[in-house]
Amino acid sequence: MDELDQLRGYEGIAAARYFPALGQLITVDGFRFNQRSRRPPKDATNAMLSFGYTLLHNNVLSLILAEGLNPYLGNLHRSDRKETHLAFDLIEEFRSPVVDTLVMTVVNRGVIKPDDFSPSASNGGIYLSDQARRRFIQEFEKRLSSKTAHSMVKKPVSYRRAIQLQVQRYKQCLLHGVAYEPFLRAV
């Protein structure tokens, strides 16, 4: 086994422990979450996580393209499929502080309710209604605009700016051999 496969194995082990623990943060009856399911999402929480990760991926992808990087050349995520692997790599640092936190917030504060979802007859998945999707996008934009600390700047910056700084940091790593420092959420 090579080191990359071993690292992916650790990522899988961490996810198997992380997602059930995340589900324990839900305080609203009607929402439950034990494990990650996607393509299609099997419950309301997974539907929001999948949608949020897609929104985050698209934001990261646009910043990668703005920096002139090839989004298909990833480091951790690789496959024979033509996918934007670099975007999948760079969203990892922001899944929890942006999307996972957002999902727990909109559920526990009642912004999104259990009846905001409906099953799909075509694939058996559960999806947000149009109105709930609009509310979720508004909350996602608020989350990306909220402030966080970043080691490259002295003042707090938006999460969107933090993502941009990480993409620029990655570019510096490629061009100048500067060690890549991951984004660490201030607590």
Asked whether residue 75 is domain-assigned, the answer is yes
Question: Which CATH number goes with the domain that contains 167?
Answer: 1.20.120.920
Name the residue range of residue 103's domain: 3-176
Asked whether residue 62 is domain-assigned, the answer is yes
Global pTM reads 0.89
The kind and range of the H/E element at 148 are: strand 147-148
Asked whether residue 187 is domain-assigned, the answer is no
Q: What is the pLDDT of the chain when averaged over all its residues?
A: 87
Asked whether residue 181 is domain-assigned, the answer is no
Asked whether residue 183 is domain-assigned, the answer is no
**Residues contacting residue 151 through CB under 8 Å, at least 6 positions apart:** 181, 184
Asked whether residue 86 is domain-assigned, the answer is yes
| Packing angle of the helix pair 101-108, 130-145 (nearest 10 deg) | 120
pLDDT in tens, 90-128: 999 999 999 999 999 999 999 999 999 888 867 778 899
Is the CA virtual torsion 124, 127, 130, 131 positive or negative? positive
Asked whether residue 186 is domain-assigned, the answer is no
pLDDT category of residue 4 using cuts at 50, 70 and 90: low
Q: How many domains, in total, are found in the chain?
A: 1
pLDDT in tens, 124-147: 788 999 999 999 999 999 999 999
Asked whether residue 118 is domain-assigned, the answer is yes
